[in-house]
């Protein structure tokens, strides 16, 4: 008995058959279906808008801050002190001997060059995380009411039990009247 080839299985002039087309269409449909199933799981691993906003840099307008004034802002849920130093505070802070400091750091390591009248630091005591009070203590800076640590005007620890200076967050100046906290390298 002779076998005959059905017209649907007949070879196409370019070597393709309907069966090849069906395999490709089925494969493409399977890939699209798998992607549609996987997408919700992958997208659920991305942070939500509130989380993204919480870690986003913040801009602080410096123009209303008067000489000697300290303002408090929050970035990533952490307290940040922004202080405009007076000319006398700058002079006094530059004159401090490194041997008088618990955690030695020169003045210029605590501020940005060209904007050295501004201190931007985290606002929690490095001992147990209390919030020091500005313009208190013996060093023109902050004093921790809980355990007695004292910091000078640029956040250097001068009297313990705090072991280290107030940390400096990453920040960059956006001109003379704006600072962007959360962007740029730490001072």
How many residues make up the chain in this entry?
187
List the Cα angle 16/20/21 in 5-degree steps.
Answer: 95
CA dihedral 162, 164, 169, 175 (to 10 degrees): 110
Strand ranges inside 19-175, DSSP E: 58-61, 70-75, 78-84, 118-122, 133-136, 141-143, 150-151, 157-159, 170-173
CA dist., res. 111 & res. 186, Å (int): 10
Our answer to whether residue 12 is catalytic in this structure is no
Assign 140 to helix, strand or coil.
Answer: coil
Query: Looking at the annotation, which residues are catalytic?
Result: 147
């Amino acid at each position: 008995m002779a076998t005959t080839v059905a017209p649907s299985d007949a070879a196409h002039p370019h070597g393709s058959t309907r069966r090849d087309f069906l395999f490709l269409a089925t494969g493409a449909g399977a890939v699209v279906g798998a992607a549609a199933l996987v997408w919700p799981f992958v997208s659920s691993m991305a942070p939500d808008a509130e989380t993204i906003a919480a870690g986003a840099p913040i801009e602080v307008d410096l123009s209303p801050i008067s000489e000697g004034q300290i303002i408090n802002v929050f970035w990533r849920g952490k307290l940040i002190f922004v202080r405009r130093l007076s000319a006398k505070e700058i002079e006094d802070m530059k004159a401090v001997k490194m041997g008088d400091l618990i955690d030695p750091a020169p003045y210029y390591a605590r501020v940005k060059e060209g904007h050295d009248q501004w201190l931007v630091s985290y606002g929690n005591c490095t001992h147990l995380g209390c919030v020091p009070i500005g313009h208190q203590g013996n060093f023109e800076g902050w004093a921790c009411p809980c355990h007695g640590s004292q910091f000078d005007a640029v956040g250097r620890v001068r009297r313990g039990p705090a072991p280290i200076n107030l940390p400096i967050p990453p920040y960059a100046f956006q001109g003379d009247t704006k600072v962007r906290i959360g962007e740029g390298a730490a001072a």
